[in-house]
Structure 1
Amino acid sequence: MASGFVKAVDPTGMGYKINAYLHNWGFSFSDDAVVLIVLAVALATLEFLLGIYLLLGIRRKLTTITTTVFVGAMTFITVYIYKTNAVPDCGCFGDALTLTNQQTMYKNFILFALCLPVVFFPQRIFRLISQRNQWITSMYALVYIVILGVYTTYYLPVIDFMAYKTGTDLKTVRTNPDTKLLEELGEKNFGEILNLGFFDGQEDVTDEILNQDKYTFLLISPRLETADDGVADRINDLKDISDDKNYLLYCITASDSAAIKQWTDHTGAAYNFLIGQEEQLKSIVRSNPGLILLKDGKILNKWSKNTLPIDPNGNLDAKELAATATNVQDILLKLALWFFVPLFLIIFADVLWNAAKRLHDYNIQRQIDKSKAKKGNELKRSNLNNSEN
């Protein structure tokens, strides 16, 4: 269930990992292919539903068989990537928790071993909801996880597990990190920020960008060849407004000069282009293109291509766009409450429904027993009268 949840929180990132597997097996997709998002959301949905079914004891025989087959298949894949090192990270928990291929293999061995008792004795799983109302819980869990996946694809991940979350002070991390900051970021994210690089030709302009005291928009496009050019007019409007308000705007991409020229000719782009590393750009914002707002090296806000910050009147105030950094624990708590409170109410209603049904059946049976007893007494009296006569 946890694995499915973190995949649904960041389907785009999971799509990147799926594409790495497919590429290794001889299939070729661009990282922005819709099929990857569909596969990511489908995988998240399957894992989440299997977890819920096991937790609540829904369709116990089918669920345990499906879970065992699924875990067995994942175990086979993890043995393969451990032997071949085809991908550096299995993606079992998205980017929320990174395991080595060896750790992943051992984890799946343990999970597969735990599946064996339940697949042979599914009836020992305690059922928390009646068979009659299982479909309600199933539909609720399905709708919840699919909506979460679609929402985070259209906007951005509701929980950002990467190094470049809103509120991160990139300049401080690179120049004067303290112990608390290192603990908050983690070793992987800290190292990624240290290796961050934006280049103008051969010149490294990363620190120049991060030291700007002006509001700076960075349009992030890992690959211009597959970027959504349907938002080009809005980006051009953003550039015009930025010039009027003395803001800065750069496009950072990993594409070559030919792709940059093609994009410029096709969209009429008048902004400057810088070069970055593709994998880093994918981590900065889960959209192609995506947008971030910086000032003094601090990430003030992020937007997907679907939510670029320009109102219909063309107004833009960077100061008002700055967002408050959100706490991961607070977001997790909200998401958990949104799911488990209605789920608890469904289970509670099911308990009441079953209690009422049992009471109703008991009263009916009691009436039947009384009726039988009454008829029995009448029959006895009738037999007694006949014998006296």
Structure 2
Amino acid sequence: MKILVAISRILVGVLFIISGLIKLNDPLGFSYKLQEYFSTDVLNIPFLEPYALGISVIVVVFEVVLGVFLLIGYKPKFTVWSLFGMIVFFTFLTFYSAYFDKVKDCGCFGDALKLTPWESFTKDVILLVFILILFFGVKHVKPVFTKLPTTVIALVSFIWCLWFGYHVLMHLPSVDFRAYKIGDNLIENMTMPEDAPKAIQEFTWTFNVNGEEKEFVTNGSYPSVDGEYVGVETKIIKEGYQPPILDFSIETDSEDVTQEMLAEDKLIMIVSYSLDSAEKEGLAAIMDKAKEAASKGYKVIGLTASGPEAKERIKADYNYDFDFYLCDEKALKTVVRANPGVLELSKGTVLQKVHWNDIDDLKL
């Protein structure tokens, strides 16, 4: 039992720290995932959506801290009970999303590692087994250090997590795992290679043959059957290649100008998924920077999911002279974790990306 507890302690502690740190690096992204879970289409508890960011920070800080507590042996009973409660909660979420096919990615490892719902559920079940070993062998979870250094490490880890979470919220994630990071080319990330593997599908056709319904399976071709067609069901055997960027576009009310804008040598892209909820101080600072950029030969555009009324109101308030184009809200939340945020691009390649708090760091 001592050996099993020691192995479980290391595996669970390390995994909770890694998983928690990845989400703590991007708590805003995890809050978007929680909003998806809270929505009427999934758990139907929309009253929690406004509190998603606060819940996100609490959960990820607790996740990292519990991993540290377990490794150093700080308050073993509290730690193991808390780990048990968290894993039961996570296992329920991943099973629900997998069984009912509600959420395609659980967000367990943020954008660093995408897991299917069933992969996430399997991972949580395995973790639950290890935590049950800790639960029944908690007497073998002993502190690694004496009381004072153990308490100090526990306190420092908690304070550091709070500071780091606040830091990335006020700026941008320290590590960007998304397809819009500095150095990435958006055109390439939106392009489907010619030799990309296609999805493999199985088609089950139902025909009425001589008064009896019969099924015929093909890879997509219409079967040669002497009977009356009833219906067809498709099943994906193997997923095909999907480009990293699927839903990004730059549109007017009448046309798509994505390729035209991304072909610009000097492009400043101001991103605000919602102009109504954008930080007013941030908008003011960014509009000043936009005027400076225009005077230095940059093409300046805005991207938002907001409607015409919001655009007109913002234009009247800040007196800017560039156009806001339309883009999907979810895509804009992925482009930059700020509302508003700014990107500099050249021929589709991201050269700079800043939170509005760091607008002075944008070098023109």
**Aligned with residue 245 of structure 2, among 193, 197, 203:** 193
Structure 2 unpaired stretches of 5+ = 1-16, 196-238
Residue aligned with 1:225, SS: coil
Query: Per residue, is there more helix in 1 or in 2?
Result: 1
1:52 is the counterpart of 2:68: yes
TM-score normalised to structure 2 length? 0.77
Judging changes above 3 Å, is the alpha-carbon distance between structure 1 residues 153 and 188 closer, same or farther for their aligned structure 2 residues? farther
**Aligned with residue 22 of structure 1, among 34, 38, 56:** 38
**Aligned with residue 104 of structure 1, among 93, 117, 120:** 120
Partner of 2:8: none
* Contact kept in structure 2, 1:68 and 1:115, CA below 8 Å: yes
Partner of 2:338: 287
* Contact kept in structure 1, 2:143 and 2:150, CA below 8 Å: no
Q: d(CA) in 2 for partners of 1:272 and 1:19?
A: 30
Could you say which structure has the larger radius of gyration?
A: 1
The amino acid across from 1:80 in the alignment is Y
* Contact kept in structure 2, 1:95 and 1:162, CA below 8 Å: yes
- 1:18-51 deviation line (CA, Å, top 9, x unaligned): 1112223232577xx5x43322111111100111
Q: d(CA) in 1 for partners of 2:241 and 2:278?
A: 25
Deviation at 1:126, TM superposition (A): 4.5
Partner of 1:338: none
**Aligned with residue 28 of structure 2, among 1, 12, 16:** 12
Q: d(CA) in 2 for partners of 1:170 and 1:232?
A: 25
* Contact kept in structure 1, 2:144 and 2:150, CA below 8 Å: no
Residue aligned with 2:180, SS: coil
* Contact kept in structure 2, 1:211 and 1:297, CA below 8 Å: yes
Q: d(CA) in 2 for partners of 1:80 and 1:288?
A: 31
Deviation at 1:302, TM superposition (A): 0.5
Judging changes above 3 Å, is the alpha-carbon distance between structure 1 residues 42 and 317 closer, same or farther for their aligned structure 2 residues? closer
* Contact kept in structure 2, 1:303 and 1:309, CA below 8 Å: no
Residue aligned with 1:203, SS: coil
Judging changes above 3 Å, is the alpha-carbon distance between structure 1 residues 177 and 306 closer, same or farther for their aligned structure 2 residues? farther
Judging changes above 3 Å, is the alpha-carbon distance between structure 1 residues 218 and 151 closer, same or farther for their aligned structure 2 residues? same
1:207 is the counterpart of 2:269: no
Q: d(CA) in 2 for partners of 1:292 and 1:28?
A: 33
Partner of 2:284: 233
Partner of 1:219: 270
TM-score normalised to structure 1 length? 0.72
Q: d(CA) in 1 for partners of 2:176 and 2:307?
A: 29
Q: d(CA) in 1 for partners of 2:166 and 2:26?
A: 10
Deviation at 1:194, TM superposition (A): 5.4
Judging changes above 3 Å, is the alpha-carbon distance between structure 1 residues 113 and 317 closer, same or farther for their aligned structure 2 residues? closer
Residue aligned with 1:197, SS: coil
Deviation at 1:125, TM superposition (A): 2.6
Runs of 4+ in 1 over 3 A off after TM superposition: 171-179, 187-190
* Contact kept in structure 1, 2:267 and 2:298, CA below 8 Å: yes
Judging changes above 3 Å, is the alpha-carbon distance between structure 1 residues 200 and 192 closer, same or farther for their aligned structure 2 residues? farther
1:307 is the counterpart of 2:326: no
Partner of 1:151: 167
* Contact kept in structure 1, 2:22 and 2:110, CA below 8 Å: yes
Deviation at 1:232, TM superposition (A): 2.7
* Contact kept in structure 2, 1:236 and 1:270, CA below 8 Å: no
1:1-389 residue pairs with structure 2 within 5 A?
A: 1-24=17-40, 25-28=44-47, 35-174=51-190, 191-193=243-245, 195-213=247-265, 215-309=266-360, 317-318=363-364
- 1:253-307 deviation line (CA, Å, top 9, x unaligned): 1112222222222333322111111111111100011110111211001111211
Partner of 2:12: none
- 1:202-248 deviation line (CA, Å, top 9, x unaligned): 211111111112x2110011111211122232222122212221111
Q: d(CA) in 2 for partners of 1:19 and 1:159?
A: 23
- 1:303-323 deviation line (CA, Å, top 9, x unaligned): 11211137xxxxx752xxxxx
| CA RMSD, Structure 1 to Structure 2 (Å) | 2.4
* Contact kept in structure 1, 2:179 and 2:189, CA below 8 Å: no
Q: d(CA) in 2 for partners of 1:92 and 1:175?
A: 27
Q: d(CA) in 1 for partners of 2:133 and 2:29?
A: 34
Partner of 2:204: none
- 1:339-359 deviation line (CA, Å, top 9, x unaligned): xxxxxxxxxxxxxxxxxxxxx
Greater shift, 271-280 or 166-175, is seen at 166-175
Greater shift, 167-176 or 282-291, is seen at 167-176
* Contact kept in structure 2, 1:221 and 1:289, CA below 8 Å: yes
